[in-house]
Structure 1
Amino acid sequence: MKQQAGALLSSIRIERGSDRKISVQLYMGLREIILTGGLEAGKRLPASRTLAKEIGVSRTTVIDAIDRLVSEGMLVSRVGAGTYVSDVLAPPQTNAQQRDAPKDEQAEPQLSHRFTVALDSFAPRQRLPHKSQAFITALPALEAFPMTHWARISARHLRGNRDEMMGYGPPQGLDRLRRSIASHLNAARGIRCRPEQIFITSGAQQAFSVIGRVLLNNGDKVWYENPGAIGAGNALVANGARLVPVPVDGDGLDVEQGLQLAPDFRLAFVTPSHQQPLGHVMSLPRRLALLEAAKAANAMIVEDDYDGEFHFSDRVQPALKSIDTQDRVIYVGTFSKTLFPSVRLGFILSPGSLVPVFDQVFTSWISGPSTATQAIVSDFMDEGQFATHIRMMRRLYKARYDVLIEAANSLPSSIRVQQTRSGFHTTAYLDPCVDAGALVEQAKGRNVITAPLARYCLAPVEQNALVLGFGSAKPDGIQAGLKILSGLPALDI
């Protein structure tokens, strides 16, 4: 009786309901076993019929996976003798030698001094689930996006000129998208600018990183809102910034406090249209004071206008950049909220004095987002779809906000939802004796996701609060989420 030879490979699991083809799953499973040492060089695989039977797939599927690995050089097929793991994958020393090698001989990675310091200074950023539900923050209403129009424009461009859509586009960004953005900023945000001041980035975080590299030396002081946005702070820290936590009140960043803490600041980072995360709008006197402080310190200001398009009030404050007569504000915008996050598209609006610098930086070493994506967004804006979408989303977010405020009336007195005038998140203030961390964990156990205000703080603050996103949750989800919150033990004081 002929013996069946070859390794047992029963650890390979095939997911029948997966979108990935079974042959691809088998190929990846075999490849993983080989690369991690589960099959050593020279080891024989079982016959294709045997392997097919053991895993529960067709022989054709097994042959297809093995042929791919043979073509990659990981397996060697010998006529009449079977299929073996290639000798090329043999390690330079035996497995016993590897096991016996002392661990202290392993090379330690040598990080740059700047990044070693940054790793110790990064604000903790536990990633929240990014799916549409109560009360996820920073996620727009994806189900309301006009995908039909987007798909039509996309198809037109993807069938178009391949050199333009698939080649290396202009490093500063597609000219027509820069014109579209400049026109929109003028009409919608009151910012007069030229297309050549616009530099397209792969999202706002890349923009903050580029600004930090251009402007900051190691240890330079940066006024930073406390509480404030986490990601932007980490991007600046990675480029040498020493963040100075400046308190925020109902008028925005407290300029007087900033001057007391660090009068020699190099940069100020603010979210004046809708403070992240408290939701306040920076008052005009505070904006003027910030501009004056920057002038006195010869500093620059980064304005992050991450969701300023979505305002509810008839009295809309203009962008800080629109009243900048000293050319000190670097305006950063993103399409993650106005379109959708995975579009990975943002931009820097540079002051005129820095245009030659950014132009050289982008020309020399920065690669921007997909040219095809930029072309699609430009047409989406020029054909009026963007403006239509913004108007619709303002109405939708206002309706969801109204549901939130109305449902909040039934909450216990130990939690009070703060009213806001824009965006799609707000804060819910808690009594001092409420344990915000325990409340968050209890809510998570009931599939309600929220975040404590402390998550956004560089230094402790007096406020005890949660941050509630309402943009991605439908009205019934908002109502159900608040009902769950109201019944949690942490609020029972």
Structure 2
Amino acid sequence: MTARTSALAIEIDRQDHSPIYLQICERFRTAIAAGHLRPGDRVPALRGLALQLNTARGTVEMAYTILVDEGYLQMRGAAGTFVSASLPSSVTRPARGGDRQEPPAREQGATKSSHALRGRQPATRQLAIAVAMSGEPKLLQPGLPALDAFPRKLWNRLVSRCARSGERAMLAYPDPVGYRALREHIATYLGLSRGVACVPEQVFITAGYRATLELVLRSLASPNDRMWFEDPGYLLARGFLAEVGVNLVPVPIDSEGIDVDRGIALDPLARFALVTPSHQAPLGYTLSLARRMALLDWAAKGSSWIIEDDYDSEFRYVGRPLPALKSLDKDDRVIYCGTFSKVMFPGLRLAYAVVPERAVERVERVACSMNAGSPMLLQAAVADFIEQGHFARHVKRMRALYGQRRTLIAHALEQAFGERMLVELPHGGIQFAVQFAEGPDGPVDDVAVAARARNAGLAVVPLSIWYANGRTRRTPRGLVMGFANVTDAKEALRLARTLYGCLTG
């Protein structure tokens, strides 16, 4: 059967501040959603569309690459580019209309014990992980950006200028919802880079990811609410959520991200789902388009909330950074969370949340009652850092640098461990997980290996404890490590050999 060739006419608005490649992406998504483009349709060739739009071929190629990464298009070599034949039906379904008011509170029938987090780690182990990921910077520490490459002189000038400005706001109590200029710059940045359409009033500045979760839960959660939580999932978030009494429902992860069907089978009425779609923590997988649409559909049908942790999505080494899950959110159920800890430095203690319009009033009321605003001086300096273009240039430089450094450590690990370690680099992020091959005596005790590594000055974290049931025989054993501060091949090999010594005891 011959593929239908689309006669779609795409137009771009050169007065629009949005980049042309993002406009092209949006036109294709809209056409697919409306049914003008159907699965299997051939789309215009790169050169042909570039001529039609009077733009560079590279611009069109960038848009097509993003659409392929998202799952909307498939490239078939000389045959051309086609709308993906495996698009989920929900992609072509129009947005739900009508009243967007919050429905009445749902029945909380399940008991806390029936859905509570299974296999909770001992407090001492959680403390050890918290120590490994905080305080004085350590070698191979997960989540730590390249401190040697941050433009400290430039940053010091910006902070000094803000301090000398004489603005009384710099000395007063900070606004609990955040510095207005920074909220504006974040809203603009997210629209251009992550496809998140929002206004500054939806952006709330917090003192870190934990503070973001606290703000969201105080605003939107009720006693005995259940939350889907990725298994394996982010350790420190799991510990905090368990502490505050959220009933966690561990949902398995595979190469397509969180298994939505399994989540529905485990608890279809969960009030929340916390996910890391762009770069799953800790395995690094990207949530597939089909799973994204299924997750959004589940949230819309059940009036549930999705908390999207987009923690280091700027750093993608294969193709362009993917748009956020929030960019597909037609029903306004996604709470988008970001942080400056990975893209700048964690000592800032600055993060942010983009909340749905229907929740702005509630979140603002809770933020004011918490009275936990971040220092205005640092917020103002970050706003200037973004406004003057330093932020975008820094991210671009770091993306190239991290691409080199992750290759250095991967090669060094393969050289030091050989077949005793499986190293599969994810497409993005500043950390990754490796797995140990099972030895003659059974699975490797990765907790013991990580303990010996910490004694040797390496801040790696055992992979098994990221799982809800971390000590079963089937649980993968390995390490989670950062690579952003590995400066050269010689250091990478030294670190890998030290780590190998921790394996052999």
Which of 480, 484, 502 is equivalent to 1:467? Answer: 480
Of 410, 413, 427, 2:419 maps to 413
What CA distance in whole angstroms lies between the structure 1 residues aligned with 2:217 and 2:378?
26
Distance 2:203 2:403 in 1: 30
Q: Tell me, what secondary structure is at the counterpart of 1:356?
A: helix
TM-score, structure 1 as length reference:
0.72
2:33 aligns with: none
Structure 1 residue aligned with 2:460: 450
Task: Report deviation, 1:260.
Answer: 1.3
Separation of aligned partners in 2, 1:160 and 1:316: 36
Deviations 1:412-469 (A, max 9, x none): 3121112111111111111233221232233334333311112222223632221121
- Residue of 348, 356, 360 corresponding to 1:351: 356
Whole-Å Cα distance in 2 between the matches of residues 426 and 161 of structure 1?
44
SS in 2 for 1:287: helix
Does the C-alpha gap of structure 1 residues 409 and 157 become closer, same or farther in structure 2, counting only changes over 3 Å? same
Shift of 1:371: 0.8
**Aligned with 1:274: secondary structure?**
coil
Mapped to 1, the partners of 2:374 and 2:320 lie a distance apart of 35
Give the secondary structure class of the aligned counterpart of 2:367.
Answer: helix
Task: Give per-residue Cα distances to partners, 1:199-249, cap 9 Å, x unaligned.
Answer: 111111100011112222222110001111122223333433101111111
Does the CA-based 8 Å contact 2:133-2:142 persist in structure 1?
no
Where 2:252 maps in the other structure, the secondary structure is: strand
SS in 2 for 1:378: helix
- 1:137-171 CA distance string (max 9 Å, x none): 11111111101111111111111124111012322
Residues 272-283 of structure 1 mapped to structure 2, 5 A cutoff: 272-283=277-288
Q: Is 161-170 or 299-308 further displaced after alignment? A: 161-170
Extract unaligned runs of 5+ from structure 1: 1-112
1:323 maps onto 2:328 in alignment: yes
Given the superposition, is the C-alpha separation of residues 474 and 239 from structure 1 closer, same or farther in structure 2, using an over 3 Å criterion?
Answer: same
Partner of 2:306: 301
Q: 1:285, CA displacement in angstroms?
A: 0.9
1:122 CA displacement: 7.3
SS at match of 2:479: strand
| TM-score normalized by the length of structure 2 | 0.71
Aligned residue for 1:427, secondary structure, equals strand
Task: Verify: 1:285 aligned to 2:286, yes or no.
Answer: no
Alignment of 1:93-132 (within 5 A): 124=123, 125=126, 126=128, 127-128=131-132, 130=134, 131-132=136-137
Structure-1 residue corresponding to 2:87: none
| Amino acid in structure 2 at the alignment position of 1:135 | L
Question: In structure 2, do the counterparts of structure 1 residues 421 and 358 end up closer, same or farther at CA, with 3 Å as the change threshold?
Answer: same
Q: Would the alpha carbon gap of residues 250 and 129 (structure 1) be closer, same or farther in structure 2, given more than 3 Å must change?
A: closer
Match of 1:392 among 371, 388, 397: 397
Picking from 326, 338, 341, the partner of 1:336 is 341
Q: Give, in whole Å, the separation in 1 of the partners of 2:369 and 2:166.
A: 26
Measure how far apart 1:397 and its partner are. Answer: 0.7
**Aligned 8 A contact 1:177 1:377 in 2:** yes
Amino acid at match of 1:415: M
Q: 1:448 to 1:170 in 2, by over 3 A?
A: closer
Structure number with greater Rg is: 1
Number of residue pairs matched by the alignment: 375
- 2:449 aligned with 1:439: yes
C-alpha distance in 2 between matches for 1:220 and 1:133: 37
- SS of the residue aligned with 2:394? helix
Does structure 2 conserve the Cα–Cα contact (< 8 Å) formed by 1:412 and 1:486? no
Any idea what SS the aligned residue of 2:144 has?
A: coil
**Equivalent residues in 2 for 1:115-264 (5 A)?**
124=123, 125=126, 126=128, 127-128=131-132, 130=134, 131-264=136-269
Q: Specify the SS of the correspondent of 1:243.
A: strand
SS at match of 1:196: helix
**CA shift digits 1:364-408 (9 cap, x unpaired):** 333210011111100000000111111111111111011122223
Q: Distance in 2 between matches of 1:384 and 1:123?
A: 45
Relative to structure 2, which stretch is displaced further, 458-467 or 262-271?
Answer: 458-467
Name the aligned partner's letter for residue 457 of structure 2.
Answer: N
**1:289–1:428: structure 2 CA closer, same or farther, 3 Å change rule?**
same
Q: Which residue of 2 aligns with 1:267?
A: 272
CA deviation digits over 1:11-42, x for unaligned, max 9?
xxxxxxxxxxxxxxxxxxxxxxxxxxxxxxxx
Q: CA deviation at 1:308?
A: 0.8
8 Å CA contact retained: 2:453, 2:499:
yes
Q: Alpha-carbon deviation of 1:121? A: 6.2
Q: Is the 8 A contact 1:438 1:490 kept in 2?
A: no
CA contact (8 A) 2:469 2:475 kept: no
Instruction: Name the residue aligned to 1:485.
Output: 499
Task: Provide the rounded CA distance (Å) in 2 between the counterparts of 1:340 and 1:441.
Answer: 26
Percent of aligned pairs with the same amino acid: 36
Match of 1:429 in 2: 435
The whole-number CA distance in structure 2 between the counterparts of 1:206 and 1:266 is 20
Query: Is contact 2:409–2:486 with CA below 8 Å preserved after alignment?
Result: no
Cα displacement (A) at 1:474: 2.0
1:267 touches 1:300 (CA, 8 Å); kept in 2?
yes
- Secondary structure in 2 matching 1:412: helix
Deviation of 1:297 after TM superposition, in Å, equals 2.1
Match of 2:197, SS?
coil
Q: Structure 2 CA distance, aligned partners of 1:489 and 1:465?
A: 10
Aligned residue for 1:413, secondary structure, equals: helix
Report how far residue 252 of structure 1 moved: 0.6
- Structure 1 residues 22-61: aligned runs within 5 Å: none
Q: Distance in 2 between matches of 1:133 and 1:415?
A: 22
Q: 1:412 to 1:487 in 2, by over 3 A?
A: farther
